[in-house]
Amino acid sequence: MVVNQLSVFIENKAGRLEQVLEALKAEDINIISLSLADSSDYGLLRMIVSEPQKAKDSLKAKGFTAMLTPVLAVKLSHKVGQLQELLAKICEAGINVEYTYALATGSDDASIVIKTADVEKAMAVLEGTDIELIKADELG
C-alpha cells in the first residue's frame, strides 16, 4: 500500500513550474496532489501522479532532476483528533514523520500523504488499526 511520490527539483525562476506541468500534460499524466516548497534558489515539487515511473522518465528526459519516493496515503474521517491519533500511533512506534501534505481523492473524507523515516514500518503499524491506507491504484 505504499504509493510512489514524484519529487522534482526546479530552479526558482519564472516558467520552470509551468515547464514541469507541460511535460506531464504532454504525456497525459494526471496530477492527483502536489506540494511545492521553495528556497531562494530552487523549489521542491512533490506530487502524487497517475503514472509515477512514466512521469519521472519523461521529466528526466527533459533535463529535470526527478525521483520517486515511497510514501503512505491515508484517509481520515472529518472528526476532531483524527490526525493526532494517526500521528500518535506512528510516533509511539518510534518512527519520525518527515513531512505530510493534503491529498485530493474526491471523497468526503480528508486524505493526506505521509513521508516517514521508515515507510514499511509505519505501514505495518497502521495496518492493524481502523486507519485506512489508500492503494496507489485507487488514486487515479
pLDDT in tens, 13-30: 888 899 999 999 999 999
Does residue 55 sit in the same domain as residue 75? Answer: no
Does residue 90 sit in the same domain as residue 49? Answer: no
CA 81 → CA 16, 98, 100, 131, distances in Å? 38, 20, 16, 13
What percentage of residues in the chain have a pLDDT greater than 70?
Answer: 97
d(CA 24, CA 99): 24
Does residue 52 sit in the same domain as residue 66? Answer: yes
Q: Residue range 3-13: average pLDDT?
A: 93
Does residue 55 sit in the same domain as residue 93? Answer: no
More confident residue, 38 or 123: 123
- Domains contained in the chain, number: 2
Query: Last residue of some domain: 70, 86, 107?
Result: 70
40 lies in which domain range? 2-70
Q: H helices of the chain, where? A: 16-26, 52-61, 82-92, 119-127
Say if CB 6 and CB 49 are below 8 A apart. Answer: yes
